[in-house]
Amino acid sequence: MSAAPAYSEDKGGSAGPGEPEYGHDPASGGIFSSDYKRHDDLKEMLDTNKDSLKLEAMKRIVAMIARGKNASDLFPAVVKNVACKNIEDPNQLIRASALRVLSSIRVPIIVPIMMLAIKEAASDMSPYVRKTAAHAIPKLYSLDSDQKDQLIEVIEKLLADKTTLVAGSVVMAFEEVCPERIDLIHKNYRKLCNLLIDVEEWGQVVIISMLTRYARTQFLSPTQNESLLEENAEKAFYGSEEDEAKGAGSEETAAAAAPARKPYVMDPDHRLLLRNTKPLLQSRSAAVVMAVAQLYFHLAPKAEVGVIAKALVRLLRSHSEVQYVVLQNVATMSIKRRGMFEPYLKSFYIRSTDPTQIKILKLEVLTNLANETNIPTVLREFQTYIRSMDKDFVAATIQAIGRCATNIGRVRDTCLNGLVQLLSNRDELVVAESVVVIKKLLQMQPAQHGEIIKHLAKLTDNIQVPMARASILWLIGEYCEHVPRIAPDVLRKMAKSFTAEEDIVKLQVINLAAKLYLTNSKQTKLLTQYVLSLAKYDQNYDIRDRARFTRQLIVPSEQGGALSRHAKKLFLAPKPAPVLESSFKDRDHFQLGSLSHLLNAKATGYQELPDWPEEAPDPSVRNVEVPEWTKCSNREKRKEKEKPFYSDSEGESGPTESADSDPESESESDSKSSSESGSGESSSESDNEDQDEDEEKGRGSESEQSEEDGKRKTKKKVPERKGEASSSDEGSDSSSSSSESEMTSESEEEQLEPASWSRKTPPSSKSAPATKEISLLDLEDFTPPSVQPVSPPAIVSTSLAADLEGLTLTDSTLVPSLLSPVSGVGRQELLHRVAGEGLAVDYTFSRQPFSGDPHMVSVHIHFSNSSDTPIKGLHVGTPKLPAGISIQEFPEIESLAPGESATAVMGINFCDSTQAANFQLCTQTRQFYVSIQPPVGELMAPVFMSENEFKKEQGKLMGMNEITEKLMLPDTCRSDHIVVQKVTATANLGRVPCGTSDEYRFAGRTLTGGSLVLLTLDARPAGAAQLTVNSEKMVIGTMLVKDVIQALTQ
Amino acid sequence: MIHSLFLINSSGDIFLEKHWKSVVSRSVCDYFFEAQERATEAENVPPVIPTPHHYLLSVYRHKIFFVAVIQTEVPPLFVIEFLHRVVDTFQDYFGVCSEPVIKDNVVVVYEVLEEMLDNGFPLATESNILKELIKPPTILRTVVNTITGSTNVGDQLPTGQLSVVPWRRTGVKYTNNEAYFDVIEEIDAIIDKSGSTITAEIQGVIDACVKLTGMPDLTLSFMNPRLLDDVSFHPCVRFKRWESERILSFIPPDGNFRLLSYHVSAQNLVAIPVYVKHNISFRDSSSHGRFEITVGPKQTMGKTIEGVTVTSQMPKGVLNMSLTPSQGTHTFDPVTKMLSWDVGKINPQKLPSLKGTMSLQAGASKPDENPTINLQFKIQQLAISGLKVNRLDMYGEKYKPFKGIKYMTKAGKFQVRT
């Protein structure tokens, strides 16, 4: 060591590695002479070929660096072995470790090497190495901020990464290096939302808080329409429906009812974020829960914010530090959204074992939550708190009582009386605090409380706490006309003890004297002069000043000061009552859960939470380019292309590197979830994946869709299209579907549940173009009136089915039959045009899930006016329904011009029976009695299940629940395709894959009861066949058998 | 993110410091000491203290302050949660987390801390991964290490870090495959003077000890999952299946872990298993007070109440107490004014009671508040909410595991106001 004074331990020891060693080139020889030997072993280990030795050596070096030891003599060895060799090591852990060591060496000269290494690692095959690269970015940035541009490039690249391992780290790097580059997020927004749940906890926190900021810049405020809602309350003419619909939906319904204003529709991406973060409220990590809570608080519509309350209350069971932070945030939230925490009032009750700071915060929350209804219980609680041993806490309680009293007029007198009683408390602090609070309360209505002021006046003899004395004096002075006899006496006493008082009291004595002099100069003139003279020679200049000033004001001098004439106005001006406010009132302009919010001051590096934009920026920036293959319309081709993809992801199990290098694989999490999931749930797990994909597809096929749009317009010679802008039909359609608040993201929503997507699979009609037509018609029901491309459901479901098919079976012949277009029962007449005096009404069972209520069968009603006068005010009149059956009426059609047609959707809950729903169809002038009787096949919705599941379920439904019938299949009806088509046309069932070729299986659930209906058709050679239906509902089973046989044998 | 960590013992010595970025001088802790002085008690030290250049975030556990130094905006819970995770990890590694133990294992502590944070950002916080990287010290290993000069750093590559189930080690092997689940419920309650319940809730946890070979996939179902109102899961639990089927499906971590914590919905009435009769009075004139409490069982579903302890913080005016318990032992600390009575089991035939007098400070007026009584108790073989585990199934592995489930009810924050 002595041999190398220039570069010895004393320097490294004191400065540590934190201070970069400038001016030395550690690689230059000669200076390590003695140190050299010390780390010989490490160098040897680095030079070996053994992975484990290298790893260990590097770990030790990192540990040394961290401990503040000077590791710079190892620098060349590390760089040689690490930067040059290990970064290309075949083992990913070594590569990662090498990068970590390299980036921990805070020496400016290696910046270029580091940059190179980071860039290389960022495109490494292993996600773990990429994660390490992300970690290295802030390190390099802090070392040399000139590299920012290059680093942003790397960040951009890593942001596009699809693995959960990387996501958290790269967003952290983003936040450190370039939080202002919000544009980098656009393309990755949806991916981040979808990955979120599988990212590790720390990453989740960072991502969520970044996405909160992002959302604030990109989406419109969900609360902007709330005022609008109130205005339009009377316009919401189908209010009864709204009650059934989800709370949030009503907002949008009302918005849709007032088409004149631009209706607020939540951006599907906005909804995506809210939906994907919600499960994280169940996280074990308090930080994640808090992050989600603040996201909901800042981004969610009012009606949905409530969900966070429960989770936050749960955190109150945690360590006291966590409680402290959570309570601070709850305090802020409870000011704005009191209703949210009201049900949890009791969770904020204070225990004697709580630390004082927690007690005071809980008190704050309790005070915020107090309202007219719960104030008695709250006050009763406060009563017990006042007797606590913790005096700080008692003082805070008294203030809390004061605040309750000012906020809730009803209890003001009760509180005041309570506080007055406290005045006789033995503890001076309690008394003093009460006096201060009473003073504030009295200021609000002094007239009625002369007695209390008298009582307070008596206290001046006993109370010694200056603040309290000062408060009493001020009160007496201010309201001296209410206590005309006592006031001068108090002044007399105070004059006597003036010199011994505290400054604050002295000032109030002068005040009192001045006020009394002005109102009652006869009695107090001498006293006042005495007090003023005493004050004139006081030690404190404030008091001398005040005395001089007061004297000039009140004692008229010969110069006839202009001011003294107004003295009374000056001193006895009516003063506004103080407002007792929470100290948390304005804290919500800081992002909740942030350090700045906690401190109520801007912390370094705090990113302001932006205000909502007036106009939403272009949402298409978040669209992701679609891989080529999704565009090909041919189903077969697509399927072929997908197959290898799936077998890929299935084949790789666990942590293989190939998973992430595969450019098509969606994400590690997905492959993980599908590989780890039990056999039964493979479908539900993997739909996540499908969803992703379809979304992309949906966005990508936008152009395709618009083309089709055009086609449809021409093809469908339905004049209703004209209603585009104004017709109530359009508005009502969208509003009725919007009653399920999440309409904008409908398509994604649907795909979440396997049952519901398969319900979509068989849209009715015969030929391919017709399928398109119908599905697009439905799409139109679901599409919000504004913007946002939503993937056409038909396309989605076909490819989805193909995907799933690729997953579950190998029999490729099934595809066409599975997907073959199926029609429900064709148009049926509801009202003949003769009977209807020109109004003809048909209905079809659309087999779409009814958006308002999943138990309802959705019925499309087609009106056409063949008369020569417009028909006005078409609506459903008071239905007389059998027990259990209910109707969701279609919204009123205001007017139907001659020759026009219109379509409306209504939902009927048939309660799993084939009873007819009778109702009146009313126009402005007439009423028609009509009835809809459903074929049994329409009372169910298809269910997707695997063969095994099917067999299992079938096993449960034996005996009485099984109905078997033999039949002969006519020659025309022996091909797969036709059988399947006939069955699905008769009944709304989903095909279940099946190993044997001459067996057909279908499954569905009844809409209301949700009981399974399983149908098996076992076709034997020569046309003999056996039909089996298994269902809990025997009536349905029997009828279904009859219907199906009829369909097949016709 | 997190710059440095200081460990401070109760006497105000910094006995360990660790820096992840550049070195922050210890003097930054002076601000902490100031705050500590202002707060009379340790738990009243504010968890977040701003200083001119840094922010100090601290947690207090096991009589040690863990003070993290940060420089820029970061969600405070992020840091606090991390610090608690550090403490949990230490406890996991060394059994206890105390100053002497940390000092004894300072090398391992540093190694662990180094792996937990990279440049201030959490890297490996799952104890399974950490244990793969750095082996927990055992006596044998310590001996071997001192002789051979090797370290606790694992010589195998930590493949767990790459795993999609980062909480589980690969290649776990046991001869006895067993999975134990403890359903522990705590009753938080405030009982008022007259014995009526002001607030009572049940918080429960399911702690598991799973020692199973390979990669088992477990499914746990409940008889009455509707009872669970608000739940939070270990990351291993598949949320979707819970949402749709109300069953817990998970690949368990190896060893001990907390699977689930839950809250039983407030609608259900909470059965309060004990009652306390109390008669504590201070007379105005004399310097004596009467003290009498009796504890008895209330709604215990036929089970015995064990491990009962009663603690109470007496008012400052109480100088001493002379009490006689009918069973158990009692102590009164005249300095902290803390009375504690270790009752033990409650025998319903002969209710335990504690009677006697208090001597008060002469001349001082009687204290105007009565002390609150804190109660601890345990009831074995009972989950007070009525929660029952239906069955536990294992998929993915061939062998038959030994399964066990245990129920217990405890007092959480159980307070009786007098």
> B19 and A596: CB-CB below 8 Å?
no
Q: Which pLDDT score, from 0 to 100, does residue A46 have? A: 73
> In terms of Cα–Cα distance, which of A904, A1045, A900, A1035 is closest to A966?
A1045
Helix extents (H) in B69-119 = 76-94, 99-104, 106-116
B chain contacts of residue A317, beta-carbon cutoff 8 Å: 188, 203
**CA dist list (Å): B28 to A76, B7, B80:** 35, 13, 18
Contact map slice: B 100-139 vs A, CB within 8 A: 110-111, 113-114, 118-119, 121-123, 125
Please tell me the total number of residues recorded for chain B in this structure.
Answer: 418
pTM flag (> 0.95): no
Q: Which pLDDT score, from 0 to 100, does residue B6 have? A: 92
> A678 and B217: CB-CB below 8 Å?
yes
Asked whether residue A729 carries a pLDDT value surpassing 50, the answer given is no
Asked whether residue B234 carries a pLDDT value surpassing 80, the answer given is yes
Torsion sign, CA atoms B206, B211, B217, B221: negative
Pick the CATH number of A828-934 from 2.60.40.10, 3.40.50.1970, 2.60.40.1150, 1.25.50.10: 2.60.40.1150
Q: Residue A595 gets which letter from DSSP?
A: H
CB of A897 closer than 8 Å to CB of A855 = no
> B163 and A92: CB-CB below 8 Å?
no
Most confident range, picked from A693-702, A834-843, B86-95? B86-95
What is the DSSP annotation of A217-242?
Answer: HHS--TTTTHHHHHHTGGG-TTHHHH
B196 located within any domain = yes
> A100 and B415: CB-CB below 8 Å?
no
Contact map slice: B 338-397 vs A, CB within 8 A: 365, 368-370, 372, 374, 395
Asked whether residue B286 carries a pLDDT value surpassing 80, the answer given is no
Asked whether residue A811 carries a pLDDT value surpassing 50, the answer given is no
Rounded to a whole number, what is the distance in Å from the CA of A846 to chain B's nearest CA? 27
Question: Mean pLDDT score of chain A, rounded to an integer?
Answer: 71
B227 and B311 share a domain? no
Between chain A and chain B, the number of residue pairs with CB atoms below 8 A apart is: 246
Q: What is the band of B7 on the pLDDT scale with cuts at 50, 70, 90?
A: very high
Q: Which residue in A has a C-alpha nearest to residue B56's C-alpha?
A: A595
B263 and B294 share a domain? no
The span from the CA of A404 to the CA of A415, in Å, is 8
Stretch A314-319: mean pLDDT: 86
B chain contacts of residue A324, beta-carbon cutoff 8 Å: 46-47
Amino acid at position A30, single letter: G
Q: Provide the terminal-to-terminal Cα distance of chain A, rounded to the nearest Å.
A: 103
From the list A313, A325, A676, the residue facing B251 with the nearest CB is A676
> Helices A503-519 and A521-536: crossing angle, nearest 10°?
150
The span from the CA of A303 to the CA of B222, in Å, is 32
Give 3-state DSSP helix, strand, coil % of chain A, rounded to 5: 60, 10, 30
B376 and B386 share a domain? no
- β-pairing, B402-416 vs B178-191, is parallel
The span from the CA of A931 to the CA of A276, in Å, is 43
> A603 and B165: CB-CB below 8 Å?
no
Q: Which of A504-508, A560-564, B390-394 has the lowest mean pLDDT?
A: A560-564
Q: Decide if B52 touches A, using CB distance below 8 A.
A: no
Widest pairwise Cα distance in chain B: 78
Q: Which pLDDT score, from 0 to 100, does residue B105 have? A: 85
Q: Which pLDDT score, from 0 to 100, does residue B349 have? A: 86
Burial class (CB in 10 A: 0-12, 13-18, 19+), A903: buried
Torsion sign, CA atoms A841, A845, A851, A855: positive
Rounded to a whole number, what is the distance in Å from the CA of A501 to chain B's nearest CA? 27
pLDDT tens per residue, range A331-362: 988 888 888 888 888 889 988 888 888 999 99
Q: Which of A437-441, A447-451, A834-838, B304-308 has the lowest mean pLDDT?
A: A447-451
Q: Which pLDDT score, from 0 to 100, does residue A306 have? A: 83
> In terms of Cα–Cα distance, which of B263, B200, B255 is closest to B228?
B263
> A128 and B161: CB-CB below 8 Å?
yes
B213 and B314 share a domain? no
Indicate which of B1, B3, B164 best probes the interface with A, i.e. most A CBs within 10 Å of its own CB. Answer: B164
CB of A677 closer than 8 Å to CB of A653 = no
Q: Which residue has the higher pLDDT, A776 or B71?
A: B71
CB of A852 closer than 8 Å to CB of A834 = no
Q: Which pLDDT score, from 0 to 100, does residue A825 have? A: 53
A chain contacts of residue B70, beta-carbon cutoff 8 Å: 595
A chain contacts of residue B21, beta-carbon cutoff 8 Å: 18, 142
Rounded to a whole number, what is the distance in Å from the CA of A515 to chain B's nearest CA? 39
Rounded to a whole number, what is the distance in Å from the CA of A383 to chain B's nearest CA? 11
Asked whether residue B333 carries a pLDDT value surpassing 70, the answer given is yes
Stretch A628-632: mean pLDDT: 41
pLDDT tens per residue, range A260-276: 455 677 788 888 888 88
Stretch A806-811: mean pLDDT: 35
Question: Mean pLDDT score of chain B, rounded to an integer?
Answer: 85
pLDDT tens per residue, range B342-391: 988 888 888 899 998 888 877 666 666 778 889 999 998 888 888 888 88
Q: Decide if B144 touches A, using CB distance below 8 A.
A: no
Q: Which residue has the higher pLDDT, A443 or A723?
A: A443
From the list A313, A389, A668, the residue facing B369 with the nearest CB is A389
Domain borders along chain A are 40-222, 479-576, 828-934, 938-1049
Q: Which residue in B has a C-alpha nearest to residue A53's C-alpha?
A: B155
Q: Decide if B284 touches A, using CB distance below 8 A.
A: no
* Portion of chain A with pLDDT greater than 90, in percent: 3
Q: What is the band of A64 on the pLDDT scale with cuts at 50, 70, 90?
A: confident
B196 and B298 share a domain? no
> In terms of Cα–Cα distance, which of B314, B317, B295, B297 is closest to B305?
B297
Q: Which pLDDT score, from 0 to 100, does residue A852 have? A: 67
Q: Which pLDDT score, from 0 to 100, does residue A736 have? A: 41
CB of A334 closer than 8 Å to CB of A378 = no
B chain contacts of residue A287, beta-carbon cutoff 8 Å: 75, 77-78, 80-81
The span from the CA of A312 to the CA of A159, in Å, is 31
Stretch A871-884: mean pLDDT: 74
> In terms of Cα–Cα distance, which of A333, A311, A307 is closest to A322?
A311
Q: Which pLDDT score, from 0 to 100, does residue B309 have? A: 92
> B44 and A169: CB-CB below 8 Å?
no
B407 Cβ contact partners less than 8 Å away, ≥ 6 residues apart: B182, B183, B184, B185, B380, B381, B382, B383
SS3 B316: coil
Asked whether residue B272 carries a pLDDT value surpassing 60, the answer given is yes
From the list B60, B72, B415, the residue facing A604 with the nearest CB is B72
Q: What is the band of B84 on the pLDDT scale with cuts at 50, 70, 90?
A: very high
Rounded to a whole number, what is the distance in Å from the CA of A98 to chain B's nearest CA? 13
User: Phi and psi at residue A729, in whole multiples of 5°?
Assistant: -55, -50
Q: Provide the terminal-to-terminal Cα distance of chain B, rounded to the nearest Å.
A: 47
B156 located within any domain = no
> B80 and A325: CB-CB below 8 Å?
yes
Stretch A195-219: mean pLDDT: 88
pLDDT tens per residue, range A244-259: 444 444 444 444 444 4
Rounded to a whole number, what is the distance in Å from the CA of B59 to chain A's nearest CA? 6
Count other C-beta atoms under 10 Å from residue A724's C-beta: 11
Q: Which pLDDT score, from 0 to 100, does residue A690 have? A: 44
Burial class (CB in 10 A: 0-12, 13-18, 19+), B179: buried
Tell me, letter by letter, the H, E, C secondary structure of A555-591.
Answer: CCCCCCCCCHHHHHHHHCCCCCCCCCCCCCCCHHHCC
> A353 and B162: CB-CB below 8 Å?
no
Indicate which of A212, A284, A288, A346 best probes the interface with B, i.e. most B CBs within 10 Å of its own CB. Answer: A284
B126 and B108 share a domain? yes
Rounded to a whole number, what is the distance in Å from the CA of A321 to chain B's nearest CA? 6
Contact map slice: B 216-245 vs A, CB within 8 A: 217, 219, 229-235, 238-241, 243-244
From the list B46, B230, B239, the residue facing A310 with the nearest CB is B230
As a whole number of Å, the CA-based R_g of chain B is 25
Stretch A612-629: mean pLDDT: 70
CATH code linked to domain A938-1049: 3.30.310.10
Instruction: Provide the CA A362 distance to its chain's centre, in angstroms.
Output: 25
Q: Decide if B263 touches A, using CB distance below 8 A.
A: yes
B21 and B132 share a domain? yes
Q: What is the band of A912 on the pLDDT scale with cuts at 50, 70, 90?
A: confident
pLDDT tens per residue, range B91-135: 888 888 888 888 888 888 888 888 888 888 888 888 777 887 777
> B76 and A142: CB-CB below 8 Å?
no
Rounded to a whole number, what is the distance in Å from the CA of B153 to chain A's nearest CA? 7
Contact map slice: B 150-179 vs A, CB within 8 A: 151, 153, 155-159, 161-166
Amino acid at position A400, single letter: A
From the list A66, A92, A139, the residue facing B114 with the nearest CB is A66
Count other C-beta atoms under 10 Å from residue A302's C-beta: 16
Asked whether residue B206 carries a pLDDT value surpassing 60, the answer given is yes
Rounded to a whole number, what is the distance in Å from the CA of A1049 to chain B's nearest CA? 40
The span from the CA of A466 to the CA of A436, in Å, is 11
User: Phi and psi at residue B410, in whole multiples of 5°?
Assistant: -130, 165
The span from the CA of A512 to the CA of A500, in Å, is 17
A438 Cβ contact partners less than 8 Å away, ≥ 6 residues apart: A416, A419, A420, A423, A452, A456, A471
CATH code linked to domain A40-222: 1.25.10
**Residue B17: which CATH number?**
3.30.450.60
Q: Which of A374-388, A491-505, A539-553, B156-170 has the lowest mean pLDDT?
A: B156-170
Helix extents (H) in A372-502 = 375-386, 391-407, 412-422, 428-442, 450-459, 466-478, 486-497
The span from the CA of A420 to the CA of A822, in Å, is 80
**Residue B366: which CATH number?**
2.60.40.1170
Residue A771 token pair: 């399928």
Asked whether residue A234 carries a pLDDT value surpassing 70, the answer given is no
B138 and B248 share a domain? no
The span from the CA of B206 to the CA of B222, in Å, is 12
Torsion sign, CA atoms A244, A249, A250, A255: negative
From the list A60, A68, A675, the residue facing B19 with the nearest CB is A68
From the list B119, B123, B230, the residue facing A311 with the nearest CB is B230
B41 and B91 share a domain? yes
The span from the CA of A1026 to the CA of A966, in Å, is 4
Residue with tokens 């200056």, as numbered in its chain: A466
Which residue range(s) make up the domain with B249? 178-270+382-416
Q: What count of Cα atoms within 13 Å lies in the side-chain half-sphere of residue B400?
A: 0
Q: What is the band of A664 on the pLDDT scale with cuts at 50, 70, 90?
A: very low
Q: Which pLDDT score, from 0 to 100, does residue B79 have? A: 92
B14 located within any domain = yes
B169 located within any domain = no
Q: Which pLDDT score, from 0 to 100, does residue A95 have? A: 81
Q: What is the band of A225 on the pLDDT scale with cuts at 50, 70, 90?
A: low
**CA dist list (Å): A691 to A542, A684, A687, A698, A732:** 74, 11, 6, 10, 28
Instruction: Provide the CA A741 distance to its chain's centre, in angstroms.
Output: 14
> B417 and A384: CB-CB below 8 Å?
yes
Q: Which pLDDT score, from 0 to 100, does residue A879 have? A: 65
Q: Which pLDDT score, from 0 to 100, does residue A327 have? A: 92
Q: Decide if B309 touches A, using CB distance below 8 A.
A: no
B115 located within any domain = yes
Asked whether residue A855 carries a pLDDT value surpassing 50, the answer given is yes
Q: What is the dihedral of CA A390, A393, A398, A399, to 10 degrees?
A: 160
Q: What is the band of B270 on the pLDDT scale with cuts at 50, 70, 90?
A: confident
CB of B310 closer than 8 Å to CB of B293 = yes
> B198 and A209: CB-CB below 8 Å?
no
CB of A247 closer than 8 Å to CB of A259 = no
Amino acid at position A832, single letter: H
B305 and B392 share a domain? no
What are the strands, taking DSSP E only, across B212-297?
217-222, 228-233, 247-250, 255-264, 274-282, 288-297
Rounded to a whole number, what is the distance in Å from the CA of A216 to chain B's nearest CA? 18
Question: How many separate domains does chain B show?
Answer: 3
SS3 B297: strand
Asked whether residue A23 carries a pLDDT value surpassing 70, the answer given is no
B127 and B232 share a domain? no
A528, containing H or E segment: helix A521-536
> B77 and A51: CB-CB below 8 Å?
no
Stretch A538-546: mean pLDDT: 89
B15 and B108 share a domain? yes
> Helices B106-116 and A51-66: crossing angle, nearest 10°?
100
The span from the CA of A723 to the CA of A708, in Å, is 19
ipTM: 0.90
The span from the CA of A378 to the CA of A349, in Å, is 9
Instruction: Provide the CA A855 distance to its chain's centre, in angstroms.
Output: 27
Q: Decide if B87 touches A, using CB distance below 8 A.
A: no
Q: Which residue in B has a C-alpha nearest to residue A669's C-alpha?
A: B164
